[in-house]
Homo-oligomer: A and B are copies of this chain.
Amino acid sequence: MKVGVVGLGYWGPNLIRNFLSNKEVEKVCGCDSNISRLKFIKSRFPMVELTEKWDELLNGYNLDIIVISTPVATHFPLAKASLENGKHIWVEKPFTFNSNEAMELIETAERKNLKLFVDHTFVYTGAVMKVKELVDKKVLGDILYFDSVRVNLGLFQHDVNVIWDLACHDFSIMDYIINKKVVGITANGIANYYEHENIAHIAVYFDDNCFAHFHVNWTSPVKIRRVLLGGRKKMLLWDDLHPAEKIKIYDSGVEVNSLDQIHNALVQYRTGDMYSPKVNETEALTLGVNEFIASINENRKPLTSGEDGLRIVKILESAEASIKNKGKFINVAV
């Protein structure tokens, strides 16, 4: 297959490297309007053909696949044009700026029988795959809550707030792991430096008394990436920055036989052993590229399809609506 990558910023070299190393890819081309980025890419990947012009990428190399790694506002026109020209597409997260755009791209891909892959890259990490496996096997029991923290002294984005930049990752992780219906969202936060929020707290309500919360912050002096997952049987901690023990499963919980017991017992909780399974360390992007190409070869939807991207865009839209209205509860069904 022949692959073209548009947008060669921070993530571009990783995309090029991973497509280059997939054995079904015979050629990778690149496109960016910034000449210095083209020079940088050339020095690292001399075999990649490069152009400044989008039209040339779209039409000039007989490509099968277009990878869109540009600012989110441009995802829709580039993706739409690619599909209309018969290309399978890979779109970086967040999928689109709004759900209408997402729905139109999904419809276009279906009409043209082309594959649409949304790069929810964390879904392909060993840690998330392991958590998914544990949840699906009911090791934790029914999930009661999902609590996520992703804070850092991080890059401000030009065009979007910290929800679209960071929480987007965590929404896609939650969406993959928890098989429950979201019914409402609230978001609170603050913009200390310019019009976009640098701190946000998003609460997600599910239809069966399950609850999720997301804390994202571009202005924390320390870096934390941690998810707590509470189940009726066991509880899980995923610390993505731990060098070796990323996932810990605690045989701990609250045990209630009757209401009366809660009201009277001095100690209602139970703590037991902890277990930390080894996690696959294959680079997530490698597995994502494999899945995308397999979905094309097998003529099926990829694991992170346009529909998955759409659900996350709906959550992002709702969070945005809420944070602009001081935490107003937004009904949403995804």
Contact = CB atoms under 8 A, between A and B. Distances in A.
Contacts of A266: 155
Interface in A148-183: 151, 153-156, 158
A196 to B, nearest CB: 9
A87 interface: no
Interface string A186-198: 1011111110001
A203 to B, nearest CB: 4
A252 B211 contact: no
A234 to B, nearest CB: 8
A262 to B, nearest CB: 5
A16 to B, nearest CB: 13
B201 A221 contact: no
Contacts of A217: 145, 147, 228
A199 B156 CA distance: 30
A153 B190 contact: no
Contacts of A275: 273-276
A153 to B, nearest CB: 5
Given A211-B190, A243-B223, A326-B205, A278 B269 contact: no
A201 B199 contact: no
Contacts of A223: 243-244
A225 to B, nearest CB: 12
A273 B268 contact: no
25 contacts: A144-B192, A145-B190, A145-B192, A147-B199, A147-B217, A156-B262, A190-B211, A191-B209, A192-B230, A192-B254, A194-B263, A198-B254, A199-B211, A201-B203, A219-B230, A219-B253, A220-B235, A221-B250, A222-B237, A222-B250, A223-B244, A272-B278, A274-B276, A274-B278, A327-B329
Given A145-B192, A213-B215, 16 more contacts: A144-B190, A144-B192, A147-B199, A153-B254, A153-B269, A155-B268, A155-B269, A156-B262, A186-B186, A189-B203, A191-B209, A193-B262, A199-B211, A221-B235, A244-B271, A244-B274
